[in-house]
Amino acid sequence: MSVVNRHKSSRIAFTLMGLVLVSFLTSSCAKQENPPASQETVASSELQNKSKMLVNQAEESLKDGDFTGAINTLKAAVKIDPKNADAYFLFARTLMHLENYDQAINYFNAVIQLDPDNGDAHLLLGGCYDMTGNKEKAIQEVEESVNIFREERDGENFKRAMAVLQGLKNTPENQGQSS
């Protein structure tokens, strides 16, 4: 397979994943919990809120095209709350947008450690693996996202993940492989 065709098929699959990014931006991913109020919980809650505010600030920086500002803000958010999966997710998406796929892979893996059922993280991690030439892992991660979206009965994201998966599997180098 020529380098041009391989690059073109990867770009097609990657473009489909861009649709998932757009839908993620329009949906809310933060969940509110009401833990019992103790001094330790209040302090922890304040740190979590500060970290969430920083994630929101980073999103605004990204909308303004300030990637350096977003990355610096996300570093602070993760430092304040190392269990903030949303901060890692936005960090990974930012790195992915900047085509820094190897670092994005690390951050998507951090999201999955914190939230194993995050279908978007699995899907975009698959895209990063695809862009770094690791088709096997790309297919594995996208298949995981398909399974998660199926279990969640998330029809829209399930269809998008299936389209990405079909794009990955329909590349000439994968025609002879079975899943």
| Number of Cβ atoms within 10 Å of the Cβ of 96 | 24
State residue 177's pLDDT score.
52
- Is the pLDDT confidence value at 151 over 90? yes
State residue 44's pLDDT score.
83
HSE toward the beta carbon, residue 49, CA cutoff 13 A: 8
User: What residues contact 170, with CB distance under 8 A and at least 6 apart?
Assistant: 9
Dump pLDDT digits (tens) for 32-78: 444 455 555 656 889 999 999 999 999 999 999 999 999 999 999 99
pTM: predicted TM-score of the whole model, two decimal places: 0.75
Check: CB of residue 139 under 8 Å from CB of residue 126.
yes
CATH class of 10-24+38-171: mainly alpha
* E strand or H helix that includes residue 81: none
| Residue of 143, 145, 136, 149 whose CA lies nearest to 166 | 143
* E strand or H helix that includes residue 18: helix 3-26
| Residue of 174, 177, 118 whose CA lies nearest to 145 | 118
Rg (the chain; Cα; Å): 17
State residue 4's pLDDT score.
43
| Domain ranges for the chain | 10-24+38-171
